Structure 1
Amino acid sequence: MNLNQIDYFYFIGIGGMGMSSLARYFHSMGKIVYGHDKNRTLLTTKLEEEGISINYHDSVEILPKWVLSKRCLIVYTPAITNYHKQWLFLKKNGKNIKKRSQVLALITENEICIAIGGTHGKTTTCTLLGHILYHSGISMTAFLGGISENYQSNIILNGRKIFLVEADEFDHSFLYLSPNIACITSLDQDHVDTYPKKETLKKAYVAFSNRIKKPYKKIFLCKEESFLSKNAIYYSVIEKANYYSNHLFIKKNKWYFDFHTPTETWKYLPLPIPGIHNLKNVTAALAISDYLKINKEKVKKALFLFKGIKRRYTIHYNKKKIYYIDDYAHHPTEINALIHTVRECFPNKKILGIFQPHLFSRTKFFEENFAKSLEKLDILILLDIYPSRELSINGINSDSLFKKIKMSSKNKERSTISKVLEKIEKKHFDIILTMGAGDIDTLIIPIKKWLYKRYG
């Protein structure tokens, strides 16, 4: 398919992070972009403000007239349900229909493409690398899996010499891509509906690694948790590798580290997002930057100016020794890393954690691991499972997870999202920590308002 011959785009599930970045890309090119989503969110509202039309009712009658034209591409997310009316109609009658990942592959297939994959860390790695490329004046477009604080968007537009994308393993989406440079940040098991065994996940990543092509034809792999590849460049935060970081230390509540290339050491660099897990992501971004021969001073300056990503260790409140931090953590490994980092930054502080499990399948598979992770909090408020694309699983709910969490009854509590504030009001804490990948972000503004009202 030649995208230059497409004038209209209709996105089913336009409010998703990956879908909305594509919508913004085509809108920036002067294309007519419409979309559907089931709920209005901060992100869809922003898209509408930018000039993209969105409907929120699953009705065929409200579809634009051109949607069945040969000049229209219908883009859908694999998270869409099979009983969605618009989707059923368009799947039967639409002329051009592509999955989100297929469209990303079409955009990048004849361009220099850098793809960042991995169970954890790909958004941080991709966003920092995109920021470095942009700050260094390189012609590039980056499709991000989160909202960059520097650019207040999930896309960075600065030309088309290089395309930087996230390689999503869900539904084997990343196997449509054929990047010139790839990176795999981690191989922790997840998306168990697609990969019921870790071995199947690893095989998919090996297949992804085999899709890299010339020029470059290199893949950056984390030395501690990856596989062997003849085209690999390894990086590490634990041992020496082609690229590695060490000497991580905290000074006046700020984190610093040393970064080692094959030929030199960059000393006392700032770590913009705290935690050893984020050091690994930063190391990957710096390694790719050095491999591309980007000016060292420009890379360092970009690192100093990096503001992070929304919902990745975002501090929303910091007054009178009370803190509120929000994070996207939705996997036991991510929760462990987050709580460990908070305790490193704020020793001897009492942490109230509010967690919203994401997906029934994930909760079922990792139920014991979730329980052990959440036990590391001082106080827990556990919300209902956010189902996303899934139907419920018999016997799997927040109550079943709640029973496995070995905390005293006075330190753990169940709640719906609408009752959270009244639960918080009765707790004694130093830090509030919201965690999850569902709609828990709708609590951010109410919690901030309550904190400002209570503490100033």
Structure 2
Amino acid sequence: MSYLQDIKNVYFLGIGGIGMSALARYFKFTGRNVAGYDRTQTALTDALQQEGIDVHYDDDIRNIPSRWNPGETLAVFTPALPDEHSELSWFRGKPIGLLKRAKVLGLICNEKNGIAVAGTHGKTTVSTMTANILDKTKAGCGAFLGGISKNFGSNLLLPNEDSPWIVAEADEFDRSFLHLQPLLALVTSLDADHLDIYGEKEKIVESFEKFISQIKLGGKLLLKKGVELNTQKTSARVFSYALKENADFSAVNLKLSSEGGFYQFDLKTPEGIIANCRLNYPGLINVENAVAAAALAFLAGVSADEIKSGLEDYQGVLRRFDVRYKSDSQIYIDDYAHHPAELKAVISSVKALYPSRKITGIFQPHLYSRTRDFSAEFAASLDLLDETILVSIYPAREEPIEGVSSAIIFEKMKNENKIMAEKEDVAQLLAERETDVVLTMGAGNIDGIGPQIIEVLKNKQNVA
């Protein structure tokens, strides 16, 4: 941490990313001068500017502050940035510290008792739930989150100097999580993903096993039941969790309340039952996430009453099973799901919550490579919907791949109640069709049409 203590100025290349913006906020709140570049203006970059951080959107070295002393300046970049980026190239040629986001996160978190939440999906919700529980304790915690917590109104919970704990989402993309050395670690899932980085699932497994080997001496590892990792690679004490299966931590006496579709359960722990837990947030998948977060808090020494309070108070994360509109006849839920396993989980959770209602899903595939690698799996997950609207791929960091489009998913779907459309036409399609529960899914910008969808559903409610 001594290196960062000498830094007075921090420049971010890709400041609008969810992980980058949390670091930007951290450095701003700790008294540094902060500025940065991003390709696209968003609500998040607007929020950063309102907090006093200078953000620009042109890749132009003239926008880099010239008054900053190089010896007191750090530049942080995201691996999603192309190598030919002119500002990145400029920093590479200067006597200024240039570090990846993951390295900087590690420098901050490894000084404390880190709680690292890893897995190919579920990280953001579990880490946010965990932080919400710990925040209610006397010791408190800090947190770097992969989404905007509705409880905190931010993706950053500023670390409390007196607290030993700091929660961080441990991202496997670009092997970023290998910069973390936590005291407590959790792995929610281990599916094939990011094959553009890893090439094959075996390499993903190797990376996760390297991650768990870095748990600090005396630490603990929590694994979702069914996640297969060689735990001989770690000295940590290993625990398991599951929704209903036999595990060290699980939900028992689970029931759906009649008060609004939320769940109540008793939490089984290695030391007995924590009775009458309530999650005031919908979705069966979130009960599983709550078991994971509660288990982490339990292993961190949090009391039963504090765990119950933190779960009951949890308000969710933007774009994670995010109920954006609800009336008597129309419901709209937005979710970040972008992997076939995530789609299956969120669709199944919506079906369990609304078993007798029609569910229309709008899916925006994320990345050409992921679409190519998992087209059959995406089709199978989308077939769980009553109706599917499939829009064009969100490319993110990738260039197009010949022969790859949303059509390769569409062609493999067995449910004939499906439509191919452009994102801009979705609201009108919904206006013309019978709707009940509407679900948008994807890690791109599909949530941007949310206000239009809400307007359509409001109009239908008024007509009804």
TM-score, with length taken from structure 1: 0.96
- The alpha carbon displacement at 1:452 in A equals 2.3
Equivalent in the alignment of 1:48: 49
Mean CA deviation greater in 248-257 or 38-47 = 248-257
SS in 1 for 2:71: coil
Equivalent in the alignment of 2:18: 17
**Deviation per CA, 1:310-343, whole angstroms, max 9, x where unpaired?**
1111111111321111111111111111111111
Is contact 1:8-1:66 (8 Å) kept? no
Amino acid at match of 1:219: L
Instruction: Tell me how far apart the structure 2 counterparts of residues 66 and 96 of structure 1 sit (CA, whole Å).
Output: 16
Amino acid at match of 2:222: F
Equivalent in the alignment of 2:64: 63
Equivalent in the alignment of 2:396: 388
Amino acid at match of 1:352: T
- The alpha carbon displacement at 1:242 in A equals 2.3
Mean CA deviation greater in 366-375 or 277-286 = 277-286
Is contact 2:274-2:304 (8 Å) kept? no
Instruction: Tell me how far apart the structure 2 counterparts of residues 271 and 314 of structure 1 sit (CA, whole Å).
Output: 14
Equivalent in the alignment of 1:96: 97
Equivalent in the alignment of 2:351: 343
Instruction: Tell me how far apart the structure 2 counterparts of residues 86 and 68 of structure 1 sit (CA, whole Å).
Output: 17
Equivalent in the alignment of 2:167: 164
Amino acid at match of 2:265: F
SS in 2 for 1:372: helix
Indicate yes or no: 2:382 matched with 1:374: yes
Is contact 1:67-1:74 (8 Å) kept? no
Structure 1 residues 346 and 94: alpha-carbon distance in aligned structure 2, compared to 1, 3 A threshold: farther
Instruction: Tell me how far apart the structure 2 counterparts of residues 222 and 287 of structure 1 sit (CA, whole Å).
Output: 11
Amino acid at match of 1:173: S
Is contact 2:124-2:146 (8 Å) kept? yes
Q: Counterparts in 2 of 1:56-455, with a 5 A limit?
A: 56-66=57-67, 69-93=70-94, 95-160=96-161, 161-214=164-217, 216-229=218-231, 231=236, 232-252=238-258, 253-408=261-416, 411-455=417-461
Is contact 2:116-2:186 (8 Å) kept? yes
Instruction: Tell me how far apart the structure 1 counterparts of residues 350 and 408 of structure 2 sit (CA, whole Å).
Output: 27
- The alpha carbon displacement at 1:94 in A equals 5.1
Amino acid at match of 2:272: E
Instruction: Tell me how far apart the structure 1 counterparts of residues 390 and 68 of structure 2 sit (CA, whole Å).
Output: 42
Equivalent in the alignment of 1:5: 6
**Deviation per CA, 1:177-213, whole angstroms, max 9, x where unpaired?**
1111111111111111122222111111111000011
Is contact 1:322-1:430 (8 Å) kept? yes
Is contact 1:9-1:33 (8 Å) kept? yes
- The alpha carbon displacement at 1:175 in A equals 0.8
Amino acid at match of 2:414: K
Structure 1 residues 412 and 94: alpha-carbon distance in aligned structure 2, compared to 1, 3 A threshold: farther
Amino acid at match of 2:228: S
- The alpha carbon displacement at 1:68 in A equals 7.0
Instruction: Tell me how far apart the structure 2 counterparts of residues 401 and 452 of structure 1 sit (CA, whole Å).
Output: 31
Instruction: Tell me how far apart the structure 2 counterparts of residues 193 and 131 of structure 1 sit (CA, whole Å).
Output: 34
Amino acid at match of 2:86: K
Is contact 2:336-2:442 (8 Å) kept? yes
Instruction: Tell me how far apart the structure 1 counterparts of residues 222 and 334 of structure 2 sit (CA, whole Å).
Output: 29
Is contact 1:222-1:234 (8 Å) kept? yes
**Deviation per CA, 1:56-81, whole angstroms, max 9, x where unpaired?**
11111222114671211100000111
Instruction: Tell me how far apart the structure 1 counterparts of residues 254 and 283 of structure 2 sit (CA, whole Å).
Output: 9
Mean CA deviation greater in 271-280 or 180-189 = 271-280
- The alpha carbon displacement at 1:139 in A equals 3.7
SS in 1 for 2:448: helix
Instruction: Tell me how far apart the structure 2 counterparts of residues 190 and 390 of structure 1 sit (CA, whole Å).
Output: 15
- The alpha carbon displacement at 1:143 in A equals 0.3
Is contact 1:67-1:94 (8 Å) kept? no
Instruction: Tell me how far apart the structure 2 counterparts of residues 361 and 32 of structure 1 sit (CA, whole Å).
Output: 38
SS in 2 for 1:315: strand
Cα RMSD, aligned residues only: 1.6
Is contact 2:283-2:321 (8 Å) kept? no
- The alpha carbon displacement at 1:118 in A equals 0.6
**Deviation per CA, 1:224-281, whole angstroms, max 9, x where unpaired?**
2233525212222243222222332212122122211112212231234444432222
Is contact 1:275-1:337 (8 Å) kept? no
**Deviation per CA, 1:160-181, whole angstroms, max 9, x where unpaired?**
3322111100111111111111
Instruction: Tell me how far apart the structure 1 counterparts of residues 318 and 349 of structure 2 sit (CA, whole Å).
Output: 17
Structure 1: unaligned runs, 5 residues or longer: none
Instruction: Tell me how far apart the structure 1 counterparts of residues 427 and 78 of structure 2 sit (CA, whole Å).
Output: 33
Amino acid at match of 1:14: I
Mean CA deviation greater in 196-205 or 24-33 = 196-205
Structure 2: unaligned runs, 5 residues or longer: none
Instruction: Tell me how far apart the structure 1 counterparts of residues 229 and 253 of structure 2 sit (CA, whole Å).
Output: 26
- The alpha carbon displacement at 1:416 in A equals 1.8
SS in 2 for 1:2: helix
Indicate yes or no: 2:29 matched with 1:28: yes
